[in-house]
Amino acid sequence: MRLDIVTRDAHTISRRQISENALKVLYRLSKSGYKAYLVGGGVRDILLGMEPKDFDVVTNATPEEIKKLFRNSRLVGRRFRLAHIVFGRDVIEVATFRGHHNENDDKISKSNSEGRLLRDNVYGEIDEDAERRDFTINALYYDISDYSIHSYGGGIHDIDARVIKLIGDPETRYREDPVRMLRAVRFATKLDMTIEPVTAAPIKELAPLLKDIPAARMYEEVLKLFFAGKAEANYNMMQDIGLFAPLFPQISALIKEQPSGNTAKMLTAVMASTDLRVSQDKPVTPAFFYAALLWYPLKQRADDIALESGLSHYDAHVAAMGDVMEQQCRTISIPRRFSTPAKDIWQLQLRLERSQGTRAFKLLEHPKFRAAYDLLLLRGEAEAGNIGKIANWWQSFVEADEQQRTDIAKSGNKNGPSRNRNAQQRKRRRPNKPKSDPKPANTQE
C-alpha cells in the first residue's frame, strides 16, 4: 500500500494541539524503546482544523508490556485487546499494531460465515496495521520520534480532496465489520466529505448485515450518529442508501406504507430538533429520542391490540409499550435507564390529551412533563387536526403566567374533553336500584 511520509516542516500539526496526557504516553513508550504514534481521528481532525474529540495511540508494545509500563492502565476488549491509560477522567487508548490473520489459529482470530470478525488479537507491524484500518483518512500516523506523518493509501491527499475511501475491497471490509457502513456515513457528514462511488457501491446490498451486530454495540453507534449535531444529515443519507431500516424496522415499515405520513414527518422533526439542541448546548437524551421516534409504531400496535383483544384504549396502549420497546431492543439495546422514562413519556401523552382543565396544574409537576409536552408539540406539527388543537392549548397554558393559566384552565373545563369523560364515568358507576326497594339493602334505620 502506498506510503507518503510528510516531514515536520511540511504539515501543520503542532504538539501544542495534542493533549498533555497523550504526549506523556507517546514519550514514555518511545523512551522505553517502543515505536509510538498518534493515529487516526486525532491526526485527521488537527489536519482539518478541527479540535479532536480524543487521542488514540498505537505501538509495537503488546498489551501486557503496556500494562507493565503504565501503572494507571487497564486492559479491555475481547474482540481486540486494548490498554486504557487513565488520567483522572481522561483516558488514552493504546492499541498494539494489528497484523494479518492466520486462518489456522482461531484462538487469536476468528470470523463467522458472513466474514465478520469475531476475534482479532493478531499483532503485526505498522504497515500491516495501516492495511487493517477502515478508511484512508484514518490511516495517518504521527511519529513522536521525529514529528513526521506516515500517510497510507493516499490518506493525506484524500483529506485535501475531502473524500471517504475504504482501504481494500469494500465488500470484504464491510463483511468483516458491517458497522463500517455507518462509519462511512458519519464521517461524510461530520467532515463535510463525499463517499467515493466504489466505497458506496456495495452498501445497499450489504445493509442487512447490520442486523447481526450485537444490539449493545448498535446503541453506541446510534448515539454517535444522532447526538453529535448531524442527526438530520445522517438520517437522510442512511435512508438514501438503505442503512436506516435494519436499525429501526418498525419505523421503516410505517414509512414504507406512507412515505409522506405522520411517521416520516415526526422523524424529520425529531432529527432537526435534536440538531438544534446540540447547537445550543442543550441536553439531549435517548429517552426522549426513542419515545418520539417510536410513537407511531406504538400507536399502531396499540390499535392492533385493542382490535384483537377488545381492551380499552388505555390498556392497549400500556400493553403495546412493552411490545414496541422489546422489538426495538432486538436491533438497538436501549438501557433501562432510558427505556423506562420513554414509557413514562408515552403514558403521559394520553393524560395530556384529556387534561385540558384544572388538572393541567397537577400534570405540570410531573418530572417527565416537559419531555412529554415537547413530544405533544411534535405530534401537533405532524398530525394537525384535533392533536394540533390540543398541542396549541397546552402551549398557551405553559407559556402563560399564573393568572392566565387559571383563566385558560377554567376555559378548558368548560370546553375540553375532560368534563364529558368524567360525566360518563360517574354515570357508569351509579348503581342500578330496583324500583320496588328504593333503599340500599344494608342501610340500617
Question: Measured at the alpha carbon of residue 385, what is the angle toward residues 380 and 389, in degrees to the nearest 5?
Answer: 60
CA atoms within 13 A on the CB side of 398: 18
- Given 45, 56, 129, 143, the catalytic residue: 56
Strands 194-195, 163-164: pairing kind: parallel
H helical segments located in 310-368: 313-328, 336-354, 360-364
Active site residue 56: yes
Grid coordinates of 28: 514514555
- Given 45, 134, 143, 158, the catalytic residue: 134
Grid coordinates of 107: 484462538
Pair 50, 162: CB distance under 8 Å: no
Pair 263, 273: CB distance under 8 Å: no
Backbone φ, ψ for residue 415 (5° rounding): -110, -15
Backbone φ, ψ for residue 313 (5° rounding): -55, -45
Q: How many CB atoms lie within 10 A of CB 237?
A: 20
Pair 124, 130: CB distance under 8 Å: no
| Residues paired with 57 in a beta bridge | 38, 94
Cα-based distances in Å from 11 to 23, 32, 44, 149, 294: 18, 27, 12, 8, 47
How far is Cα 49 from Cα 60, in angstroms, rounded to an integer? 29
Question: Measured at the alpha carbon of residue 337, what is the angle toward residues 331 and 339, in degrees to the nearest 5?
Answer: 45
How far is Cα 255 from Cα 300, in angstroms, rounded to an integer? 12
Active site residue 160: no
Which sequence positions are flagged as catalytic? Answer: 54, 56, 134
